[in-house]
């Protein structure tokens, strides 16, 4: 891989993910606010950003499909299933963190 191809790859990645990177940096600096509602909103947005990043990584790592081709009718469904799976994993992780950190009195089945 030549230097020009490497730079093109890095710049494409940065342009595609600049919004997520900027929002994540803003949220991480604002997490120490005192209002519980604002903290909850920022943590929810951070959870969505984590979901988007993880679904992008999963799509890149585990699929061989070129989702930009229009001849494949399963493109939206495959991307939706990947996003749904990563969203469920993020929600399960957040719930586990809540149960460990705050120890609610929830009876287990």
Tens digit of pLDDT for each residue in 25-34?
Answer: 877 777 666 6
Residue-range definition of the domain harbouring residue 29: 3-102
CA pair distance 75, 65, nearest whole angstrom: 8
pTM: 0.58
CB 53 within 8 A of CB 13: no
60 torsion bin: left (phi>0), alpha (psi -120 to 50), beta (else): alpha
Task: Tell me if 107 is assigned to some domain.
Answer: no
Q: Among 47, 54, 44, 43, which Cα is nearest to 85's?
A: 54
**pLDDT tens across 77-97, in order?**
777 888 888 889 888 888 887
Determine the Cα–Cα distance for residues 60 and 16; give it in Å rounded to an integer. Answer: 14
pLDDT in tens, 60-78: 777 776 666 666 666 777 7
Number of domains within the chain: 1
What confidence tier does 104 reach under pLDDT thresholds 50, 70, 90? low
- Residue 108, domain member (yes or no): no
| Helices 36-62 and 75-102, axial angle in degrees (round to 10) | 140
Pull the structure tokens for residue 108.
């287990």
Domain assignment present for residue 56? The answer is yes
* pLDDT of the residue at 33: 64
| Inside any domain, residue 74 | yes
């Amino acid at each position: 891989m030549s230097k020009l191809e490497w730079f093109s790859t890095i710049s494409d990645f940065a342009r595609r993910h600049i919004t997520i990177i900027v929002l994540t940096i803003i949220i991480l600096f604002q997490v120490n606010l005192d209002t519980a509602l604002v903290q909850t909103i920022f943590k929810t947005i951070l959870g969505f950003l984590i979901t988007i990043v993880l679904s992008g990584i999963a799509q890149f790592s585990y699929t061989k499909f070129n989702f930009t081709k229009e001849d494949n009718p399963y493109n939206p469904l495959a991307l939706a299933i990947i996003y749904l799976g990563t969203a469920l994993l993020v929600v399960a992780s957040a719930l586990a963190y809540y149960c460990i950190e705050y120890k609610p009195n929830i009876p287990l089945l």
